[in-house]
């Protein structure tokens, strides 16, 4: 079937409710209706999915395997029906059944197999690849528990497991016949084959069966459906086990436990490496399964494994899948008998690596003993890659020890996964201009000097289909009414909006839409936080993972400062402001959790202080995730992008805000630099140290925040209020660590390592400019519209075209039904 009429869809929903739940539509719960609608939509997708596969087979296409530990997909139903262009039919059919599409969409669990930006980027990329008609398989892990659900209790974050598969996932398809075996542990035995060639055989290992589940990635209105392939681990059937035959009962149970543990849970760390053995198991598990499958698939149609790079690319999303380099070498050497040089040639033409951060705490390193015990054959290969690479470095730099220290893959008892990825890839890319420059000139300088041709920039992007067309229907319709609908697949067409930015009628229409979106968010806040916020106030929003480098602390300290000013002068004339936060902290990140508590404690005091007449409000939105993010971006006036310059590799939240007509208040960091390049400095609020200044201070060992503290009464007052019970009457120690971290060096950590006090006054000034600007509604409307008009560069469609052109060299396909 190609499309539903309303009658056909109604019948299909009725049939599914009956078959799945033994009920009629009127008796079914909303959740059951969601399932029935989703299955009905899947029936449409299936035709296109099969046809896409057929075309791929027939044309023997080159495919990119996008390897990522994380895919932060968000709900599928709403976007699938938009991309199938069947949303109107679904909406009307449901209305006739007495249901609202919005409410049915709300019943879908929000698949959160990712932490933040990195996982969301992977999701945007897959959607863009389908929309542009390029063959991709997203490869990841089917975590039983995704990103935890955040509950705020008494101002503290609580983590609740996210049992997203509880009711089953109607869109997924288990692919039994594509299962493969992944081997852990044991030892390597060396023998010689009949030609006297050395053979390496892993023995006495623990096998795990990797079974893929495919999820459809529907392109916009083009019949292309790619797959996200997430792997689940199963124990090998007992009766096929050697060890079980020999009566090794304990070994069989161990293998059950290994399989059960691997895909159990997503590590909730964003930009931070924890070094847990289970994490390495997860990495090798999904990499080995994905690479094995890709090679088997290639060999179905081809004779010569040495031509693999003509049809296959492995794109490594950060260092998490770096073991791909060694796993592909293993397969080529051990299963296909290539020589080392042949295998290395194939590997280094197939792998490409994306770097996502310069922060040292995010760099993955594995202790040799742990790595060698878990992956004995892979370890041998990494050793040999390192030995040969070190020979090259010694030769080229005449035993320069500094070079060895920086570039070695194995060093100081550890395996450095970033170095493995760089050496084993033909492309190394950063994710924004500034970030790539820092990689080339600082972090990866030595590698850049050795192989400059590998390095390139791919500024991140976002999909406008989700973050405008789906998330902000009012604005999407308004834009289409002005400039037509080409922006949906060609975001650069937004530029045509510029001519409307100065038109008073358009300004009013635009601000009315923003107002309605603010009303929608205010209702959500009323319902979830029991706080009344005024949709006429400035909605000043910072939503992203809680991390010290992102500086939510700077934001809330400005709120504390403003509150102090209001207390001194309650009649102070300010534009009412609603400060909105949303952020999950990694479960083990103590200081991040203290900052959440601080935000909520400040909110508690400020929101309930009658003497300030409701001029400022602080709202912490619980459980920030893709589904509520869409609504939050639509309602924002101010986009807080205030990371310490040089620390945020790109940011993509900044782009979603811009697309929805919020104005950036930010530092010259990550993609903010390019946002300002596009929209103009005059249409953003920029403050703070530059990345060069930050890096210079860091090379000098930091700066002395006490000088600022001693001179600045305003700063001293709010800092004192962190520890004198002003916001924490019961426990004066709650925020003491946060307070002290701004003033004292501690355990190898510099005082105020993220330059909060250093940037504070500059931030306050920028905030005053925001306030002044908002008093001029014409100016604000114009600047906001210009932000939308100049967001074209930040479509992930543009990013993907650059990957295709410079790295992947894919051909576009067309799929007809």
Ligand X SMILES: *Cc1c(COP(=O)(O)O)cnc(C)c1O
Using rule CB under 6 A, residue 653 touches ligand X = yes
211 vs 546, beta carbon nearer ligand X: 546
List CB contacts of 23: < 8 A, sequence separation 6 or more. 17, 32
Shortest distance (Å) from residue 656 CB to ligand X:
6
Single out the catalytic residue among 644, 652, 664, 799. Answer: 652
Q: How far is the CB of 571 from ligand X (least distance, A)?
A: 36
Task: Tell how many helices (H) and how many strands (E) occur in the chain.
Answer: 32, 23
Q: Which residues of 147-170 are buried (b: 16+ CB within 10 A; e: fewer)?
A: bbbbebeebebeeeebebbeeebb
Catalytic status, residue 281: no
Helix (H) or strand (E) holding 57: helix 30-59
Question: Judged by CB, which is closer to ligand X: 35, or 641?
Answer: 641
CB 305 within 8 A of CB 338: yes
652 included as an active-site residue: yes
Output 87 or 641, the one with its CB closest to ligand X: 641
How many Å apart are CA 570 and CA 223, to the nearest integer?
60
Residue nearest to ligand X (CB): 653
Q: Considering only 202-210, 348-356, 491-499, 647-655, which stretch makes contact with ligand X by CB under 6 A?
A: 647-655
Q: Which of helix, strand or coil describes residue 541?
A: strand
| Best CA proximity match to 555, nearest among 579, 575, 590, 525 | 579
Note whether 188 and 457 are within 8 A (CB): no
Nearer to ligand X, 658 or 708 (CB): 658
Nearest approach, Cβ of residue 547 and ligand X (Å) = 8
Give the integer Cα–Cα distance in Å for 109 and 76: 9
- DSSP states along 448-500: HHH-GGGEEE----B-HIIIIIIT-HHHHHHHHHHH-SGGGT-GGGGGGGGGG
Q: Which of 545, 597, 615, 625 is catalytic?
A: 545
Measured CA distances, 303 to 60, 299, 307, 308, 755 (Å): 14, 6, 9, 10, 58
* Closest CB 99 distance from ligand X, rounded Å: 27
Q: Out of 651, 666, 688, 792, name the contact with ligand X by CB under 6 A.
A: 651
- From 340-348, 408-416, 651-659, 717-725, span contacting ligand X (CB under 6 A): 651-659
**CA neighbor of 809 nearest in space, from 315, 369, 128:** 315
Q: How far apart are CA 52 and CA 600, in angstroms?
A: 49
Single out the residue of 111, 117, 321, 471 in contact with ligand X (rule: CB under 6 A): 117
> What is the rounded CA–CA span in Å between residue 114 and residue 670?
21
Cα 206 to chain centroid distance, Å, stands at: 32
Stretch that binds ligand X, among 2-10, 134-142, 391-399, 646-654 (CB under 6 A): 646-654
**What would the two tokens of residue 245 be?**
């035959």
Q: Would you count residue 625 as binding ligand X (CB under 6 A)? A: yes
CB atoms inside a 10 Å sphere around CB 512: 12
Please select the residue that binds ligand X; options are 544, 615, 758, 793, rule is CB under 6 A. 544
Q: Is 550 a catalytic residue?
A: yes
CB of 528 to ligand X, least distance (A): 16
Task: Considering the candidates 42, 550, 584, 793, report the single residue annotated as catalytic.
Answer: 550
Reading the block at residue 743, the tokens are: 């003033």
Closest C-alpha among 430, 432, 113, 115 to residue 272: 115
**Contact between 758 and ligand X per CB under 6 A:** no
Contact call for residue 626 and ligand X (CB under 6 A): yes
545 is catalytic: yes
Min separation Cβ 750 and ligand X, Å: 23
| Among 159-167, 400-408, 417-425, 622-630, the segment contacting ligand X (CB under 6 A) | 622-630
Catalytic annotation, pick one of 330, 466, 558, 656 = 656
By the rule CB under 6 A, 577 interacts with ligand X: no
Task: Write down the least CB distance from residue 434 to ligand X, Å.
Answer: 14
Evaluate whether 61 touches 301 at the Cβ level (below 8 Å): no
- 416 or 544, CB closer to ligand X? 544
Q: Which is nearer to ligand X, 42 or 656 (CB)?
A: 656
Nearer to ligand X, 218 or 629 (CB): 629
Q: Kindly state the smallest distance separating residue 443's Cβ from ligand X, in Å.
A: 20
Question: Closest separation between CB of residue 459 and ligand X, Å?
Answer: 13
CA distance 704 to 702: 7
Residue-level length of the chain: 817
User: Of 116-124, 178-186, 214-222, 734-742, which segment contacts ligand X by CB under 6 A?
Assistant: 116-124
Nearest-approach distance from CB 298 to ligand X, in angstroms = 34
Place of tokens 């852990």: 184
d(CA 675, CA 793): 9
Which is it for strands 427-430 and 156-160: parallel, antiparallel or unpaired? unpaired
Q: Which residue has the tokens 């033994």?
A: 22
Residues 202, 652, 672, 683: which binds ligand X (CB under 6 A)? 652
The one-character DSSP state at 176 is G
To ligand X, the closest distance from the beta carbon of 121 in angstroms equals 8
Nearest residue (CB) to ligand X, 186 versus 653: 653
Q: Does 120 bind ligand X (CB under 6 A)?
A: yes
Residue whose CB is less far from ligand X, 124 or 715: 124
Q: What backbone torsions phi and psi does residue 536 show, to the nearest 5 degrees?
A: -85, -10
The catalytic residue among 272, 320, 356, 625 is 356
DSSP state of 440: I
Detail the DSSP E strand segments found in 351-420.
Answer: 351-354, 365-367, 410-411, 414-416
Identify which of residues 75 and 750 has a Cβ nearer to ligand X in the complex: 75
Binders of ligand X in range 496-535 (CB under 6 A):
none
Per-residue contact flags (x/-) with ligand X for residues 697 to 716, judged by CB under 6 A: --------------------
Q: Is 272 a binder of ligand X (CB under 6 A)?
A: no
Question: Which of the ranges 449-457, 621-629, 678-686, 711-719 carries the binding residues for ligand X, by CB under 6 A?
Answer: 621-629
Q: Count of residues binding ligand X (CB under 6 A)? A: 12
Residue number with CB closer to ligand X (119 or 424): 119
Q: Where does this chain bind ligand X (CB under 6 A)?
A: 116-117, 120, 544-545, 625-626, 629, 651-653, 656
So which residues are the catalytic ones?
Answer: 356, 544-545, 550, 652, 656
């Amino acid at each position: 079937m190609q499309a539903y009429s309303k009658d056909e869809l109604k019948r299909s929903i009725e049939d599914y409710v009956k078959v799945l739940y033994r009920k009629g539509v009127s008796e079914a719960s909303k959740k059951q209706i969601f399932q029935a609608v989703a299955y009905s939509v899947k029936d449409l997708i299936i035709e296109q999915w099969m046809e896409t596969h057929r075309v791929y087979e027939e044309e023997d296409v080159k495919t990119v395997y996008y390897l990522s530990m994380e895919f932060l997909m968000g709900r599928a139903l709403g976007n699938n029906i938009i991309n199938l262009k069947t949303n109107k039919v679904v909406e009307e059919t449901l209305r006739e059944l007495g249901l609202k599409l919005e409410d049915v969409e709300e019943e879908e669990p929000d698949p959160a197999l990712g932490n933040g930006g990195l996982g969301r980027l992977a999701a945007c990329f897959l959607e863009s690849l389908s929309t542009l008609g390029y063959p991709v398989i997203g490869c990841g892990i089917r975590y039983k528990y995704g990103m935890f659900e955040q509950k705020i209790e008494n101002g503290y974050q609580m983590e609740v497991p996210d049992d997203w598969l509880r009711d089953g996932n109607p869109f997924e398809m288990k692919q039994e016949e594509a299962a493969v075996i992944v081997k852990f542990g044991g030892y390597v035995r060396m023998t010689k084959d009949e030609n006297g060639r050395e053979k390496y055989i892993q023995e006495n290992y623990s096998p795990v069966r990797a079974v893929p589940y495919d999820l459809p990635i529907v392109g916009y209105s083009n019949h292309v459906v790619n797959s996200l392939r997430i792997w689940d681990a199963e124990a090998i059937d007992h009766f096929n086990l050697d060890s079980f035959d020999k009566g090794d009962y304990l070994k069989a149970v161990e293998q059950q436990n290994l399989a059960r543990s691997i895909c159990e849970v997503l590590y909730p760390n964003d930009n931070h490496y924890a070094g847990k053995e289970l994490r390495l198991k997860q990495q090798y598990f999904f990499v080995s399964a994905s690479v094995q499958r890709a090679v088997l698939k290639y060999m179905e149609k081809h004779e010569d494994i040495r031509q693999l790079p003509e049809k296959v690319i492995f794109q490594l999303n950060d260092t998490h899948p770096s073991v791909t380099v060694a796993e592909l070498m293993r397969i080529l050497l051990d299963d296909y008998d290539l020589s080392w040089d042949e295998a290395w040639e194939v590997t280094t033409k197939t792998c490409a690596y994306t770097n996502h951060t310069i922060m040292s705490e995010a760099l993955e390193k594995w202790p040799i003993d742990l790595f060698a015990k878990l992956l004995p054959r892979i370890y041998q290969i990494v050793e040999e890659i390192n030995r040969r690479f070190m020979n090259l470095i010694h030769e080229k730099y005449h035993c320069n020890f500094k070079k060895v220290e920086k570039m070695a893959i194995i060093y100081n008892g550890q395996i450095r996964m970033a170095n493995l990825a760089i050496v084993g890839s033909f492309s190394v890319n950063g994710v924004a201009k500034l970030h790539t420059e820092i990689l080339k000139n600082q972090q990866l300088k030595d590698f850049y000097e050795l192989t400059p041709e590998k390095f390139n920039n791919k500024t991140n992007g976002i999909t406008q289909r989700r973050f405008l067309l789906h998330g902000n229907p009012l604005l999407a319709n308004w834009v289409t009414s002005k400039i037509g609908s080409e922006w949906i697949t060609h975001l650069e067409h937004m530029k045509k909006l510029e001519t409307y930015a100065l038109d008073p009628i358009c300004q009013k229409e635009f601000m009315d839409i923003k107002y309605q979106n603010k009303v929608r968010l205010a209702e959500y806040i009323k319902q979830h936080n029991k706080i009344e916020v005024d949709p006429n106030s400035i909605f000043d929003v910072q939503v992203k993972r809680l991390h010290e480098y992102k500086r939510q602390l700077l934001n809330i300290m400005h709120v504390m400062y403003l509150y102090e000013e209001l207390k001194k002068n309650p009649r102070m004339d300010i534009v009412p402001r609603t400060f909105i936060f949303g952020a999950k902290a990694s479960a083990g990140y103590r200081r991040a959790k203290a900052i959440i508590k601080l935000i909520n404690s400040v909110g508690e005091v400020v929101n309930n202080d009658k003497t300030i007449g409701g001029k400022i409000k602080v709202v912490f939105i619980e459980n920030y995730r893709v589904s509520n993010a869409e609504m939050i971006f639509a309602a924002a006036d101010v986009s807080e992008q205030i990371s310490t310059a040089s620390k945020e590799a790109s940011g993509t939240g900044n782009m979603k805000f811009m697309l929805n007509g919020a104005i950036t208040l930010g530092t010259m960091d990550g993609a903010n630099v390019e946002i300002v390049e596009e929209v103009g400095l005059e249409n953003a609020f920029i403050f703070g140290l530059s990345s060069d200044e930050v890096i210079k201070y860091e090379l000098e060992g930091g700066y002395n925040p006490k000088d600022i503290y001693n001179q600045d009464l305003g700063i001293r007052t709010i800092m004192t209020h962190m520890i004198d019970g002003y916001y924490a009457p019961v426990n004066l120690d709650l925020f003491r660590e946060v307070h002290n971290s701004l003033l004292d060096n501690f355990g190898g950590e510099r005082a105020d390592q993220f330059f909060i006090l250093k940037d504070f006054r500059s931030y306050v000034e920028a905030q005053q400019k925001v306030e002044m600007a908002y008093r001029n509604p014409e100016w604000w409307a114009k600047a906001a519209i210009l932000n939308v008009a100049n967001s074209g560069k930040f479509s992930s469609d543009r990013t993907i075209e650059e990957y295709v052109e410079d790295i992947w060299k894919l051909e576009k396909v067309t799929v007809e039904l």
